[in-house]
Structure 1
Amino acid sequence: MNSLYDEFRIAVHSVWNRRWLALAVAWGICILGWLVIAMIPNKYESKAQIQVRTQSILSDQVGITPQDQRRNIQQLEQTLISSENLAKVVRGTDLGASVATDQELAGKVESLRTNIEVKAEQDDFFAISAKLPSGKLARDVVQKLIDVAEEDNIAGDRKTTSQTLRFLDAQIEGRQKELADAEAKRVAYETQNLGLLPGVGSVSQRMEASRAELSQIDSQLIQARSALAALNGQLAGTPATLNTPSAGGGSPSALGQAQGELASMRARGFTDSHPDVVAIRNQIANLRAQGGGGAGAGGYRTPNPAYSSLQSMRAEREASVTALQARKSALQSDMAQLAAKQTAEPGVAAEYQRINRDYEVLKAQYDKLVTERDQIRLRGQVETQTDAVQFRVVKEPSLSNVPAAPNRPLLLAAVLIAGVGAGVGAAFALGQLQTSFPTAAKLERASGLPVIGSISQMLGSEERAQRKQKMKLFYGASGGLVCVFALLLVAEFVQRGLTA
């Protein structure tokens, strides 16, 4: 800690010994800096605030979405300081008094663009500011910019809408002629190739219908044949007659009852692998092995009703199979004729599809153009006749007699601080370059030899008087620098007061 304090004292002592150098550097930098600040021209700022409102009562009804309204506001923000608008501002203010050529006008426009700022503050509020050498000129420029933007918005919307409608009318007229020619061509082709074109009653449609019906008939025929085969199997296992006992023989025999039950099961559709059918067949086999199951000698055989029912069902299914086969043959014959007829004109359907496709494309384009024209006409009427975009000046352009730039008091103070800092730095740097030792301890560290002592400087009366006189001069020069700074500040504020 003591070492740092010693170093600080040494640095201060080094600067103090070269205080005249520090003061000279400070004076030089301050005078130069203040001259540069004095040469900077004043700029006066004028500010205004406008509100760009979009009415939404009719806009929503005609398809002007909030995105479209926001896009209109953004477009206004981008074109507010366009070259065309700025050229109108230059011609309409005092800036155009000294403009004689297009090059001078372009230079004025670019200079004006760098001094104008348009900033969006909220959804529909904009702040417009201009910094120019005169407060009145800055206010006139902002006001003219607002007037030009409002005029261009109204006139521009109407001009754009009229140009768009003229273009769409020309396109619709051309598409209408092409659509009429395509429709006449399609009608003539349909009349020439009637019966061979796609659509209701065409060859292709009839072929598709025949294929679908043939597929259905094949499925039905497979089912009918399967049912007939199953019925033939049941009929083969069903006896044509049943053993019935005589009138005096008492109850029917067990074999007859078992055979009746088996016939009933087969009539209900049971297969031979069904457990009940297997059981009753085993019972019948046992009864036959025992000699008829106790049938009386006076019994007789009667027709089996289940067998008769199965025969009737088989006749019906055979008739159904025959009818399906006949229908299938007829369809195959019709399809062969249709295929021969279709192959006779292979390019008819393709040509018709091409003609119809061209017609549909033209019709879609025509309908789209008509819809867009109606929408644009209605939207244009809403935007121009009902003031869809409305300008409202919230804050009038201000007139300021106090320069907004440069901030001279701050710059003057900054130059003073920079000058003093540069002088101190120059004195300290010069002290570091000289090979002197301010203290005995530093000399001892540098030489490596012990230092016995140090002798203080002794001043006489004359030398003290001279040093005192020099200190007065130094303090006077330092105070003069501060006084010059104070005078410059007073002059700046007095000038502001006089122009206010």
Structure 2
Amino acid sequence: MNGLYDEFRVALHSVWTRRWLVLAVAWGICILGWLAIASIPNRYDSRARLLVDINEIVPADSQSGPYADRAQIDQIRETLTSARNLEKVAVTTGMLPAGAGEREKAGAVAMLQKNIKVIPQQENIFEITSSIGVGSLSDADNAKLASGVLDSLITVFRDEQLRGGRMTAREGLKFLDAQLADREKALGEVEARRAAFEAKNIGLISSGTGSPGQRIDAARAELGQIETQLAAAQGSLAAANGQMASTPATINVPGMGGVGGGVARQQLAGAQNELSSMRARGLTDAHPDVIALKSQIASLKAMADREGAGGGGGGNAQNPAYATLQAMRAERQATVAALSSRKAQLSADINRITTAQIQNPGVAAEYERINGEYTALKAQSDRLMAQREQVRMRGEVQTETDAIKVELLDPPTKPTSPAAPNRPLFLTLVLFAGIGGGIGVAFGLGQVRTSYATAAKLERASGLPVIGSITEVVTPERHADRKKKLVWLAGGSGALVALFVLLLVAEFVQRGMVA
């Protein structure tokens, strides 16, 4: 412990003997440090809060919703500090002189981009901070410029949003019109190619819509239905034939004489009346009911002729039940015939298309390709038309109303004290650094010099015993000289501290002048 105490005393003595060096180094470090701090311009911060509300009367697309609104708000936040807006801010606030070059504009925009921060507080509320510290301006001008930058930025942003929305709608309509014209031209070319291809391959492809494969599938599906209906119709016809086989054509009516022929003629008249009624309803001769009824009328005419020829002297009359069954059978025969004809037609179409595909596979593939190209172009044209109408409506809405409302929640603050640098703290740190630097230089110099402050230290260094030491004898003249130099040392140290206090006072007075 005594050794450590002795070392401390020795170090303190080494520094004290070089006290003028300590004072000189402290003055040098403090002067340089305080000059460096004085060259740093004060930075003043101004803050404002904005509420950005999207008045979306017409949705942007089918996926519009909270996610689309958030994306649009993020886009607004990015465009708030765009280079175009910041250049206008620099011109408005006087940071850029009239006729400034591109290099000066780029420098001003880069400085503003670095010193303007946009921080989202909530989903659609932003805090904007501008930090301005221009060395060529006074503190009052920097403080005024910090709030003026935010005022100008908010004004420019509002104007750009209003003008930009309308410009975007007009540019969007122009672009969509050009795209629609291209699609219409391409559609016309594809239609011409398809018509020329159909005319060239008239015997190989059907004139109906759809590809050959699609037409074959549709024909097979219809053929299945026809076969089911034909089987049912053939079953009904077989049942009618069975019933007719077990039903007599005539019945014996006692005392009737030969008037049976009147029944066939009555049925014939009723059938003809029904045919006239069907034609009056607009049914053509190709209708299945008309075909069946005409077949029934032909049968009834034959029966009426036979009854008229066999005429007058029999007692038998035509069986009404047999005549009804005969008419029913004629109707079912007509249905079977129509279904069989349609089945044969569908089978022939399937065979024809299949044969054409086998013999000319490239024709069908090319035709399908042309149809696919036409379908794709038509879908694109319809989609572009819908988008154009939507853009037009949004443009009208933005013209009549504010699509994006920017509300100033908190106006830009007027800074009264610099945000950076913290000069009182830096001045104090420089003072302590100067004193510490002086002490450190004096102590280091004492370690380098080969001198010994005590006899014990000399004895340890030399390894030889030290008999004794002679104490310094101070004369009155030397004592007075030392006292005078001590006063000078105190004056120099006090002057350094006084300069530090004066700088602090000047700093606070300057802040008060800004306020």
TM-score (norm: length of structure 2): 0.65
Q: Deviation at 1:157?
A: 1.8
Give the letter aligned to residue 168 of structure 2: T
The reply to whether residue 198 of structure 1 matches residue 222 of structure 2 is no
Q: Does 1:144 align with 2:145?
A: no
1:198 aligned partner, one-letter code? P
Match for residue 155 of structure 1? 163
Which residue of structure 2 aligns with residue 169 of structure 1?
Answer: 177
Query: For residues 381-416 of structure 1, what are the alpha-carbon distances to aligned partners after superposition, in whole Å with 9 as ceiling and x for unaligned?
Result: 556655342211122122234333433222221221
How far has the Cα of 1:149 moved from its partner?
Answer: 0.9
Alignment partner of 1:36 is 2:51: no
Q: Distance in 1 between matches of 2:26 and 2:508?
A: 24
The one-letter amino acid of 1:174's match is D
Do 2:57 and 2:397's aligned partners in 1 also have CA atoms closer than 8 Å? no
1:373 to 366, 379, 388: 388
Aligned to 1:178: 186
Change (3 A) 1:339 1:140: closer
Displacement of 1:31: 1.8
2:411 maps to 1:396? yes
- State the match for 1:235 in structure 2: none
Tell me the SS of whatever aligns to 1:46: strand
Alignment partners' CA distance in 2, 1:147 and 1:406: 30
2 CA distance for matches of 1:175 and 1:384? 29
Distance 1:391 1:338, change over 3 A: closer
The size of the alignment, in residue pairs, is: 380
Deviation, 1:360, is 1.9
1:163-194 deviation digits (Å, cap 9, x = unpaired): 11211122123313432443465466557232
Query: What's the CA shift string for 1:414-467, capped at 9, x where partnerless?
Result: 221111111111101110110012223322221122233333323233332222
Match of 2:496 in 1: 481
Per-residue CA deviations over 1:302-345 (Å, capped at 9, x if unaligned) read xxxxxxxxxxxxxxxxxxxxxxxxxxxxxxx9999987665433
SS state at 1:53 partner: strand
Match of 1:54 in 2: 54
Maintained 8 Å contact 2:34/2:427: yes
Q: Residue in 2 aligned with 1:248?
A: none
CA displacement, residues 251-303 of structure 1 (integer Å, 9 cap, x when unaligned): xxxxxxxxxxxxxxxxxxxxxxxxxxxxxxxxxxxxxxxxxxxxxxxxxxxxx
Q: In the TM superposition, what are the counterparts of 1:109-148 in structure 2 within 5 Å?
A: 109-124=109-124, 125-132=126-133, 133=137, 134=141, 135-148=143-156
Q: Return the offset for 1:136.
A: 2.2
Secondary structure of 1:48's counterpart equals strand
Judged with a 3 Å threshold, the aligned counterparts in structure 2 of structure 1 residues 430 and 395 are, in CA distance, closer, same or farther, namely same
Q: Could you say which residue in structure 1 is the equivalent of 2:253?
A: none
- Tell whether the 8 Å contact from 1:182 to 1:359 is kept in structure 2 after alignment: yes
1:74 Cα deviation (Å)?
2.3
Whole-angstrom CA distance in 2 between matches of 1:144 and 1:189: 65
- How many Å apart are 1:158 and its aligned residue? 1.6
Contact preservation (8 Å) 1:47, 1:130: no
| Equivalent-residue separation in structure 1 for 2:217 and 2:420 (angstroms) | 89
8 A Cα contact 2:51 2:406, kept in partner: yes
Q: 2:132 is matched by which residue type in structure 1? A: K
Contact 2:357 2:364 in 1 (8 A): no
Distance across 2 between alignment mates of 1:107 and 1:336: 79
Report whether the alignment pairs 1:22 with 2:22.
Answer: yes
Report the more deviating stretch, 96-105 or 465-474. 96-105
SS of the aligned residue for 2:95 comes to helix
In 2: Cα distance, 1:494 partner to 1:44 partner: 16
* Identity score, percent: 49
* Cα 1:407/1:99, change in 2 over 3 Å: farther
Cα deviation, 1:229-256, whole Å, max 9, x if unaligned, reads: xxxxxxxxxxxxxxxxxxxxxxxxxxxx
What amino acid does structure 1 have at the position aligned with 2:7? E
Q: Which amino acid aligns with 1:82?
A: S
> What is the alpha-carbon root mean square deviation over aligned residues?
3.5
Tell me, in whole angstroms, the C-alpha distance in 2 between the residues paired with 1:206 and 1:59. 46
CA 1:7–1:375: 2 relative to 1, 3 Å: farther
Indicate conservation of the 8 Å contact 1:51/1:394, yes or no: yes
> Could you tell me which of 490, 496, 499 is aligned with 2:511?
496
Contact 1:29 1:415 in 2 (8 A): yes
CA contact (8 A) 1:195 1:203 kept: no
TM-score (norm 1): 0.66
Q: Which whole-Å CA distance do the structure 2 matches of 1:65 and 1:110 have between them?
A: 35
CA drift of 1:148 comes to 0.4
1:57 and 1:172 map into 2 onto residues whose CA distance is: 26
How far off is 1:484 after superposition? 0.9
Question: 1:27-67 CA deviation, whole Å, 9 max, x = no partner?
Answer: 12212222333333344333222222234676499643333
> Do the aligned partners of 2:357 and 2:363 also contact (CA within 8 Å) in 1?
no
Q: Which amino acid aligns with 1:170?
A: A
What amino acid sits opposite 2:162 in the alignment?
I
Q: Relative to structure 1, is the Cα distance of residues 199 and 112 closer, same or farther in structure 2, using a 3 angstrom cutoff? A: closer
Report which stretch shifted further, 47-56 or 187-196: 187-196
Aligned to 2:12: 12
Separation in structure 1 between the aligned mates of residue 163 and residue 13 of structure 2, nearest angstrom:
76
For structure 1, the 5+ residue unaligned runs are 214-332
What corresponds to 1:351 in structure 2? 366
**Runs of 5+ consecutive residues of structure 2 not aligned to the other structure:** 228-347
Q: Is residue 421 of structure 1 aligned with residue 445 of structure 2? A: no
Q: Is 2:165–2:395's contact at 8 Å kept on the other side of the alignment?
A: yes
Once the two structures are overlaid, the 10-residue window that deviates more, 151-160 or 338-347, is 338-347
In 1, Cα distance between equivalents of 2:122 and 2:215: 66
CA distance in 2, matches of 1:398, 1:454: 73
**438-447 vs 173-182, which deviates more?**
173-182
Q: How far apart, CA to CA, are the structure 2 residues paired with 1:97 and 1:413?
A: 39
Do the aligned residues in 2 keep the contact of 1:59 with 1:382 (CA within 8 Å)? no
Distance 2:59 2:216 in 1: 50
Cα distance change of structure 1 residues 371 and 32 upon mapping to structure 2, 3 Å threshold: same
> What secondary structure sits across from 1:94 in the alignment?
coil
Cα deviations by residue, 1:457-494 (Å, 9 ceiling, x for unpaired): 23233332222222222122111111111111112212
- The corresponding residue for 1:227 is none
Decide whether the 8 Å contact of 1:94 with 1:137 is kept in 2.
Answer: no
Q: Aligned partner of 1:441: which letter? A: A
